Amino acid sequence: MRLDKIIRQLGKGSALAALVGASLMLAAPAAVAQDEPLDVVFAHHSSASNPFWQAVKKGFDDACQKLSAECQMLFTQNEGSIEQQVANIQAAMARGPDALIITIVDDQALDQIVADARAQGVIVIASNVDDTEGADGNERQAFIGQGFVAAGHALGKAMAERFPAEGPISAVVGVSAPGQNWSEQRAQGIMEYLEEYKAANPDREVSIERLDTGTEGAVVADRVGSYLNANPDTTVYFDTGLWHAYVARVLADRGVPPGKVLLGGFDIVAEVLQQMEAGYIQVQVDQQPYMQGFMPVMEAYLAKSFGLSPADINTGTGLVYPEDVEAIMPLATQGLR
Amino acid sequence: MKRLLKLYMARPELAGIVLLVVLLGVFQFRSDGVFLNQQNIRGVMGLLPEMGLVAIGVTLLMICGEFDLSVGSVFALMPMTLAVAMNAGLPFLPAMLLGFLVCAAIGFVNGYVTIQFNIPSFITTLGMLFMARSLTVVISGGFPPLLSSDIPADLFTTYVGPGELFRLSFFWFLGIAILASWLLARTNFGNWIKAVGGFQEAAAANGIPVRRVKMICFILCSMLAGFAGMIQVFRLGSPLPSLGEGLELQAVAAAVIGGTALTGGIGTILGGIVGALLIRVIDNGLVLSQVDANWFKFAVGFLTIFAVVVNAGLIAVAKKIKVGS
């Protein structure tokens, strides 16, 4: 009798497990079924806690809503994890989507899976980050995003206009993700400009330091904060992402006045705009993430519906200054910039 | 019948297996039948060996009573060492051996520092996690080196068998899993591992060489992590410095879900593998079920906790079953 009770309990437990699992799955929003709606998967290398990608997701979701498409954006569990991105793509491919939007942060890791997708007739568009060899290095059909080297160069040049008129220049470039295309190319662009500046100003002492800074705000703040402690004469810090916003907080906490250490980086998020308003960040490069989420879906729709070839789109190397913040802030908080 | 039931319910991996079966059904339903299609099984099984090998190593070490949080970093360091060595002119075999030597050295350091200075392995290997990761970036020089074309990646990445369902890496993994299971279940050394993890003082009093057992387990754990990393790099074609980040927590979760006790002494290789498979299935199934991306981690964490709770419940129930003499 006791055994029967135990078996009943186990049976209840298993049923409970199934119920919990099923309810968890059912809690997820499901797409409205239509006659052959466009099925798009966006699989990138970033985690859901990165605010930049929420703007991309907004663009992606808005485009999908306008087209009544079935869409799914796949984040990684660890920031910058390419193997998780590849695993996500593999899983999504089993569903047979019409289009795959990806970021190519490494020149080799996604070659095979993209080739397999193309062989299955899937439309593949790269967004945000491209293979360094472009179409020659990967079978993706188009790239929608920013030219990183050019953007880095533009940032360096704009910041140089704010360098002190005299004295040595001590520049630090924080490489957020060593080895990843987007981070290395932005750093390359910045450093190329700084070398040009150095050559054009032989009478000034210009030092250029490269740091591995990370992609978590607290980590970047800690590392760069420590560097600035040890090197108080630092003139400018460039971040290859948006994490210098956290460095700005460290400077503010220490009572360092705005502009004492120039700060500049990439991407417009609310935290960056706040620090621009406060005067700590002088120049920022905007790559218009909303467009990077929106346009690939439109191109996938055109490709599927009318056989039009996806085309490259440069989402811009627009420079944003503190005087632009008032106009941009409302859009940034809505995830549109 | 009661005795059989008690024996089965006391097996630590049973809860993992039960949850695996339940989730297979749920995900198959939620994905409109895609989850168990050939392409998806191929994908899941293609990735399982990498996670599974790390889980085997971590399981062995946890049964022995210790932890290794540096497995994720070693996962990246070994193939990076291999790639850099080959780019420097070393042929594949010596480069691979060098990579394994680095893994063994890291395992040795982990074990030596833990045992010699009597500090928790959690702390030792946490420090090694950062050091090994940094070494990976340093030797790469910031950019992942190109993989030499002389690498016999086909020995691991080629799909074989009916329907080409499995990569060759799966069979490497199977072989090592069988070997590890045999080691744990059928050898004196395996008994020593369980004794050291279960009650270290009693094991030492009975003449078991505790230090040697632990040291070997640390080294095996590191080498298995390195081997797994090598397989992943051969599959991806690029030795990325960021590979394996967060893998240590997944490996510990896999071991625990499979019934390995955090306190040591209890666990099986099969359990570690079931745990690794469960984590892969959860990841894959959530993607196919189109769960909102922002809820992903919540779902993974919830299911992990649930598996451990069910496991503990089953063991408690098994203990209550009275079997007549």
Q: Which amino acid is at A229?
A: N
Q: Looking at residue A9, what is its pLDDT?
A: 46
User: How many helices and strands (H and E) does chain B possess?
Assistant: 14, 2
A-chain residues near B295 (CB < 8 A): 27-28
Q: How far is A74 from chain B (nearest CA, A)?
A: 6
* Beta carbons of B288 and A21 less than 8 Å apart: no
Which pLDDT tens digit goes with each residue over B191-242?
999 999 999 999 999 999 999 999 999 999 999 999 999 999 998 888 888 8
Residues in chain B with pLDDT values less than 50:
none
Reported as half-sphere exposure (CB side, CA atoms, 13 A), residue A63 has a value of 28
State which residues form the domain around B293. Answer: 2-140+167-320
CATH of the domain at B190: 1.10.3470
Within-domain flag for B160: no
Kindly state the percentage of chain A with pLDDT values over 90.
Answer: 61
Residues 6+ apart with CB under 8 A from B87: B145, B146, B148
Kindly state the percentage of chain A with pLDDT values over 70.
Answer: 88
pTM of this prediction?
A: 0.75
* Beta carbons of A109 and B18 less than 8 Å apart: no
- Pick among A12, A25, A39, A73 to test the B interface (most B CBs inside 10 A): A25
* Beta carbons of A21 and B295 less than 8 Å apart: no
Of A75, A94, A109, the CB nearest to B43: A94
Q: Looking at residue B225, what is its pLDDT?
A: 98
pLDDT at A67 over 80: yes
What domain count does chain B have?
A: 1
Q: Which amino acid is at B233?
A: V
Which pLDDT tens digit goes with each residue over A242-291?
999 999 988 988 889 999 999 999 988 888 998 999 999 999 999 889 99
CA distances from B135 to A199, A238, B129, B139 (A): 34, 24, 10, 6
Which pLDDT tens digit goes with each residue over A210-225?
988 888 888 898 889 8
Which pLDDT tens digit goes with each residue over A188-218?
999 999 999 999 999 999 999 998 888 888 8
Q: Looking at residue A35, what is its pLDDT?
A: 60
Tell me which chain B residue has its CA closest to the CA of residue A72: B290
Q: Looking at residue B312, what is its pLDDT?
A: 74
* Beta carbons of A28 and B290 less than 8 Å apart: yes
Q: Is the Cβ–Cβ distance between A104 and B53 less than 8 Å?
A: no
**In chain A, what are the domain boundaries?**
39-146+288-316, 149-286
Pairing of strands B159-160, B166-167: antiparallel
Q: How far is B101 from chain A (nearest CA, A)?
A: 25
Backbone angles phi, psi at B138, to 5 degrees: -60, -50
Q: Looking at residue B72, what is its pLDDT?
A: 95
For the CA atoms of B17, B18, B19, B21, the dihedral, rounded to the nearest 10 degrees, stands at 80
Tell me which chain A residue has its CA closest to the CA of residue B290: A72
Q: How far is B215 from chain A (nearest CA, A)?
A: 30
pLDDT bracket for residue A16 (50, 70, 90): very low
Topology at the third CATH level for domain A39-146+288-316:
Rossmann fold (3.40.50)
Within-domain flag for B152: no
Among candidates B126, B124, B64, B131, which has minimal Cα distance to B102?
B131
A-chain residues near B151 (CB < 8 A): none
Question: In a 3-state reduction of DSSP, which class is residue A254?
Answer: coil
A-chain residues near B145 (CB < 8 A): none
Tell me which chain A residue has its CA closest to the CA of residue B48: A87
Of A25, A109, A178, the CB nearest to B289: A25
CATH class label, A149-286: alpha beta
Of A74, A94, A112, the CB nearest to B293: A74
* Beta carbons of B292 and A29 less than 8 Å apart: yes
H or E element: which one contains A207?
strand A206-212
Within-domain flag for B146: no
Q: What is this model's ipTM?
A: 0.71
Q: Looking at residue A55, what is its pLDDT?
A: 87
A-chain residues near B27 (CB < 8 A): 25
Tell me which chain A residue has its CA closest to the CA of residue B310: A13
* Residues within 8 A of B (CB atoms), A 104-143 only: 106-109, 111-112
* Beta carbons of B137 and A179 less than 8 Å apart: yes
Question: CB distance from A199 to chain B under 8 Å?
Answer: no
* Beta carbons of A48 and B142 less than 8 Å apart: no
Of A48, A78, A109, the CB nearest to B293: A48
Q: Is the Cβ–Cβ distance between B20 and B44 less than 8 Å?
A: no
> How far apart (Å, rounded) are the C-alpha atoms in residues B286 and B295?
10
Within-domain flag for B244: yes
pLDDT at A34 over 60: no
Which DSSP letter does residue A265 get? Answer: E
Q: Looking at residue B1, what is its pLDDT?
A: 66
Q: How far is B206 from chain A (nearest CA, A)?
A: 39
| DSSP secondary structure string for all residues of A150-184 | HHHHHHHHHHHTTS-SSS-EEEEEEESSTT-HHHH
pLDDT bracket for residue A24 (50, 70, 90): very low
